[in-house]
Amino acid sequence: MLSFIIKRLISGLTVLFFISIITFFVLRWMPGDPATLSLGTEGTPEKIAELQEVMGLNLPWYQQYYHWIQDLFSGDWGSSYVFGEDVMTLIIQRLPVTLLLAAVSMVIVIPFAFIIGIMSALFKERWVDYIARSLMQLGDAVPQFWLALIFLVFFASKLGWFPVAGYVGFDDGILASIHSVLLPAIVLAIGQVGPLIRIIRSSMLSSLEQDYMLMTQVNGLPKTLAIVKYALRGASIAPLTIIGMQLANMLAGAILVENIFALPGIGRLLLMTVEQRDLILLQGMVIFVTSAVVLVNILTDICYRLANPMIRFGGNHE
């Protein structure tokens, strides 16, 4: 197990290295150098040259990269020239909103996906299954931002069940906070539910076909008990593998949803960053978001192995 964890960490670090290379080069490619951009209208040629010197922009790229990585590890992520604040501070300020949004969305999506996925597997090729799969297809095809607009009009404006926009901080009570992100979280959940139902359904189907399910019948175990005790346990491991992917999807969805519902989270900050071409902040946010995805992937891989001792490292690749 330990050697697996070490191997997994090393491969994760390699991935992070490539992410940093991709980010570094893509953003170096951006027209306009950071020194000119950050000085804005105050930029005289002398001032720009001076700042370029200070920012190390005259150094060869590998030295620039090295310094950048060094700074990343020491916690100095630079400062945004649009907001004039530390990148880390900006991210940490916005993070709770996005985390709450993602968490509420997960709380909605997981039980829902399990119920639908399991029902769909138990009643395979029957109407429950057909309805579930039609919903899945629709969920995959509906543009999240469109759904957000429609929900906004109907549930927030017409029915008045939710605030039209804005976020209520934790200071006003956790419930008020949750209420303010509930509608966007539902929209995010609808976008997430398709892939999750699909994997739960297929792993439940394969779990139902296992020999141990036949054994429960031979032993005369009641069907419901057999399903809850054995089939379900077998089926709940596979969905773990796509949690990393789900997180990535959720962050992508958050960019759109936060903008529509005016939630001051990571997604909204990202759009502002791209619109303003705030290189330093964009760099920091990209590294932050992708590292989170990689870390979650490593953690889920380890959990997956802990939950399922039958899988040996380097075994079947499917």
Partner 1 sequence: MSKLRQHKLFSLGLFLVLVVISLCIVSFFYLPQDPNVMNTINRFQSPSKEFLLGTDQFGRDILSRIMISSRYALFIGLVSVFLGAVVGIVIGALAATANGWLETILMRFIDGLMAFPGILLAMMLVAVLGKGLWNAVIAIAIFMIPVFSRLTYSLVLDQKNQLYVKAARSYGASKCRIIFKHILPMILPRLITQFSASIGSAILIESSLSFLGLGVQPPNASWGLMLSESRQYMLTYAYLAVPPGIILMITVLGFNLIGDAWNDSIVSRRMAE
Q: Examine residue 11 and tell whether it contacts partner 1 (CB under 8 A).
A: yes
Q: Examine residue 282 and tell whether it contacts partner 1 (CB under 8 A).
A: yes
C-alpha–C-alpha distance, residues 153 and 160, integer Å: 9
Out of 38, 207, 216, 249, the only residue in the binding site for partner 1 (CB under 8 A) is 249
The smaller minimum CB distance to partner 1, of residues 196 and 226, is found at: 196
Q: Examine residue 317 and tell whether it contacts partner 1 (CB under 8 A).
A: yes
Out of 178, 293, 302, 307, the only residue in the binding site for partner 1 (CB under 8 A) is 293
Instruction: Compute the least distance from the CB of residue 266 to partner 1, in Å.
Output: 10
- Total residues at interface with partner 1 (CB under 8 A): 53
Confirm if 85 and 269 have CB atoms less than 8 A apart.
no
Any alpha helices (H) in the chain, and if so which ranges? 2-28, 34-39, 45-55, 61-73, 87-122, 127-141, 144-151, 174-208, 211-218, 223-226, 232-235, 243-260, 266-276, 279-307
Q: Examine residue 6 and tell whether it contacts partner 1 (CB under 8 A).
A: no
The smaller minimum CB distance to partner 1, of residues 151 and 230, is found at: 151
The smaller minimum CB distance to partner 1, of residues 260 and 263, is found at: 260
Residue environment code for 57-74, b if the CB has 16+ CB neighbours within 10 A, otherwise e: beeeeeebbeebeeebee
Window of 54-62, 79-87, 109-117, 292-300 that interacts with partner 1 by CB under 8 A: 292-300
What lies within 8 Å, CB to CB, of 252 at 6+ separation is: none
Instruction: Compute the least distance from the CB of residue 153 to partner 1, in Å.
Output: 4
Instruction: Compute the least distance from the CB of residue 208 to partner 1, in Å.
Output: 16
Beta-bridge partner residues of 79: 86
Q: Which of residues 148-167 bind partner 1 (CB under 8 A)?
A: 149-150, 152-153, 157, 164
C-alpha–C-alpha distance, residues 289 and 144, integer Å: 20
Neighbouring C-beta atoms of residue 2, cutoff 10 Å = 6
Q: Examine residue 271 and tell whether it contacts partner 1 (CB under 8 A).
A: yes
Out of 131, 142, 213, 311, the only residue in the binding site for partner 1 (CB under 8 A) is 142
Q: Examine residue 89 and tell whether it contacts partner 1 (CB under 8 A).
A: no
C-alpha–C-alpha distance, residues 48 and 75, integer Å: 26
Token pair of 158, please? 């017409």
Question: Containing H/E element for 317?
Answer: none
Instruction: Compute the least distance from the CB of residue 247 to partner 1, in Å.
Output: 8
Out of 87, 100, 118, 256, the only residue in the binding site for partner 1 (CB under 8 A) is 256
Confirm if 140 and 194 have CB atoms less than 8 A apart.
yes
Specify the DSSP class assigned to residue 311.
P
Instruction: Compute the least distance from the CB of residue 31 to partner 1, in Å.
Output: 8
Instruction: Compute the least distance from the CB of residue 144 to partner 1, in Å.
Output: 8
Out of 231, 255, 263, 269, the only residue in the binding site for partner 1 (CB under 8 A) is 255
Q: Examine residue 290 and tell whether it contacts partner 1 (CB under 8 A).
A: yes
The string of DSSP letters for 51-100 reads: HHHHHTTTS-HHHHHHHHHHHHHTT---B-TTT-SBHHHHHHHHHHHHHH
Instruction: Compute the least distance from the CB of residue 150 to partner 1, in Å.
Output: 7
Q: Which positions lie near partner 1, rule CB under 8 A?
A: 11, 14-19, 21-23, 26-27, 29-31, 125, 137-138, 140-146, 149-150, 152-153, 157, 164, 248-249, 251-252, 255-256, 259-260, 270-271, 273-275, 277, 282, 286, 289-290, 293-294, 297, 317
